[in-house]
Amino acid sequence: MALSRAERCLALLLRLLSRACLALLGLAAPATPRAVPPPRRSLLLLPARQLAKRLRQRQVTCVEVVEAYIERIREVNPLINAVVKDRFEEALQEARQVDKLLAESPGEDYLEEKFPFLGVPITVKEAFSLHGMPNTSGLVNRRNVIATSDATVVSRLKQAGAIPLGVTNCSELCMWYESSNRVYGRTNNPYDLQRIVGGSSGGEGGVLAAACSVIGVGSDIGGSIRMPAFFNGVFGHKPTTGVVPNDGQFPIAQGVRTSFLCTGPMCRYAEDLEPMLRVMAGPGVHKLKLNEKVSLEKIKFLCMDHDGGSVFVSPVDKEILQAQKKVVEYLERDLGVQVQRVSIHKMKYSFQIWSAMMSSNDSDGQDAQVFTDLLGDHGKPVWPLWELMKWLVGMSSHTLPAIALGLTEKLVKLNLGANAKLVSMGKSLQAEMETLLGPDGVLLYPSHPTVAPRHHSPLCMPFNFAYTAIFNVLGLPVTQCPLGLSSEGLPLGIQLVAASYNDHLTLAVARYLEEAFGGWVLPGKA
């Protein structure tokens, strides 16, 4: 599919802008990256499952656990600005209730079955309703909105015994890959405070990496779980479409986007992904095959190094390619499998396909949501050009990425013929991927072209999120898996992709790679 003259000009402009921005950011950057200090309490280094087991066996009290996490948040949150509103008093009160329940000793097996996360601290993306907490999604005109109920997934985790510590930052309206807004400000990466945490679930990625939480709730319509998980060196899972309910978050997807938005787990340890998914999915878990035993030697492993050379995104960093190569070599050596290299031509158009499908009508003919309406919170629509002029003189209540997205939305609707072709290409790609992966396939694919960028630099190459976004419109399950640190001390990682409802395959491979490559690495350890 040939690029139009306008697309070629835009691609050239992005390349020039990217080089200029990166040069300026390089000059402004401090010589030595600054990371958060490592945690001092061993309680903070336990997976949620192990922590819950120690609590059930009364090896530690729930109050001790919650106090340890509160102390850690107070220590590092001033540096990373990830937790934007806490509920520490309520959490301690709930911890005392857990200790009282444990003292009554109803039986460890009973507790494990009924309350698998009893006493485990959790954090929640601010876009989700958590009773008594703000629910702004970074939108200034929602700054006084307080949730009066819990989102479905939050309620299920609380019923499973988890104790929310607070809510975490996101990008404005959850539609940008740097978590910064005019309500709470900017969140910083625990490995280098001058770097981004990703978005839109960036606060969750940062709070997990900094050992301020052990499990968290995120949502993903273009990579909003997987990019923060990648940039912060933790695990994240975008489930198969339609398995985990999206109710109780703002903005809630409408029209065709209900098939693209996914709610899923984020955590420091791979072993916590599956039990979290079971709880969050509720009755929907029967659609998956989580009880099936996975034989890694029988998995058909596929590998793709890059998208084929899209002009809209950056080339993949050498260290990311090297990390993926090491995974391939390890799989072949340790499991005795042959990893098949593939080249899927349509992946080159990932950004265009995602953009067209996000703007398309659903099967009932319902129009896609209008972003400028969401910016006005369904009140008076926002005019992007006017907001841009206000932003230039410091008078806009919106972030530049949100304004730019509003402008882009207007341009996309001008070329309906090309959009229809791209939607058709997306549906063809979906069928191709399902056939290629089949019942036993797992694709290894880069998470992002670069490691965590410096603050503001995503504006220079705004479409790099295409590496994650394409899988939202394809509806496939994807697990983000960390693979150690780069030479700059920044997290590396990989996406593990399977066919629909084969989440159990990517989760099993993530556990295997965690054991082989170390998983999450303490920031500030060096």
Q: Give the residue numbers marked as catalytic.
A: 125, 200, 224
| DSSP-assigned states of every residue in 140-207 | GGGTT-B-SS--HHHHHHHHTT-EEEEEE---GGG-SSS-EETTTEE--BTTBTTB---SSSHHHHHH
DSSP state of 56: H
C-alpha 86/C-alpha 70 separation (Å) is 9
C-alpha 178/C-alpha 224 separation (Å) is 10
C-alpha 238/C-alpha 475 separation (Å) is 9
Contact by Cβ (8 Å): 128, 169:
no
C-alpha 285/C-alpha 300 separation (Å) is 24
Label residues 353-363 b or e (16+ Cβ within 10 Å = b). bbbbbbbbeee
C-alpha 119/C-alpha 99 separation (Å) is 8
| DSSP-assigned states of every residue in 15-42 | HHHHHHHHHHHHHHS-SS---PPPP--G
Both structure tokens of 305: 């190094």
Name the nearest CA neighbour of 212 among 369, 87, 39. Answer: 39
Helix (H) / strand (E) element for 266: namely strand 262-267
Both structure tokens of 458: 């995503």
C-alpha 203/C-alpha 199 separation (Å) is 8
Q: Measured on CA atoms in the order 513, 474, 168, 53, is the torsion positive or negative?
A: negative
Listed as own residue / partner, the contacts of 351-354 with beta carbons closer than 8 Å and 24 or more positions apart are 351/310, 351/312, 351/313, 351/463, 351/466, 351/469, 352/312, 352/422, 353/422, 353/423, 353/425, 353/426, 353/429, 353/470, 353/473, 354/222, 354/426, 354/466, 354/469, 354/470, 354/472, 354/473
Number of neighbouring beta carbons within 10 Å of residue 431? 11
C-alpha 258/C-alpha 478 separation (Å) is 17
